[in-house]
Amino acid sequence: MASSALTMLSMTIGFFFILMGTMKLTPAVNEEVHRELRKMFIRDAKVFPLSTLTGWKPNAHMYRKVVGGLEVVCGIMLAILPGPVKQISNVVLLLLMLVSVYTTLAKGEKMDRATPSIVFGLLLGCRLFIYYQVRNREEKDAKEIAKLKAELEMEDDEIEELEESEKKTQ
């Protein structure tokens, strides 16, 4: 059950980020949204989180392209690819959502503008939590199976010894 929930959550979040990243990269999906995102990244570049530490502010155009590209690549990894790359992409997307919330608040905008980032950040956090629950349960089950196999092998050895002793007595 949890594994299917993890798969569905990964695919849903992944496809969402593929769509959002594509809208940041190209006007092909929705020209009006693309235009609005371009304006938003011009404002976001002014409050880039690392600019206070490094003094460097990114070019708004490149900032948008990098974030959009990361969302598309990580969305594909989260939705389609198997294995540990899903967790890496999950963490990258979670960090992008934290940066998005930071920039929204740093610009002095209302909290409702940060709501999508908060919601998807929480979904990414829940996905990681479910992943670790499933992994821990699978490890626990594997240990239990190994223990049961060892017990069965011991019982088989005891049965063989009893059969041999019965043959000797006959």
Q: Which tens digit of pLDDT belongs to each residue from 34-81?
A: 999 999 999 998 888 877 778 888 899 999 999 999 999 999 999 999
| AA letter at 69 | G
pTM here is: 0.81
Task: Tell me the C-alpha distance between 51 and 147, whole Å.
Answer: 55
Q: Which tens digit of pLDDT belongs to each residue from 139-163?
A: 998 888 888 877 777 766 666 776 7
Q: CA nearest 128: which of 164, 70, 84? A: 84
DSSP for 57-86, written as a single string: ---HHHHHHHHHHHHHHHHHHHHT--STHH
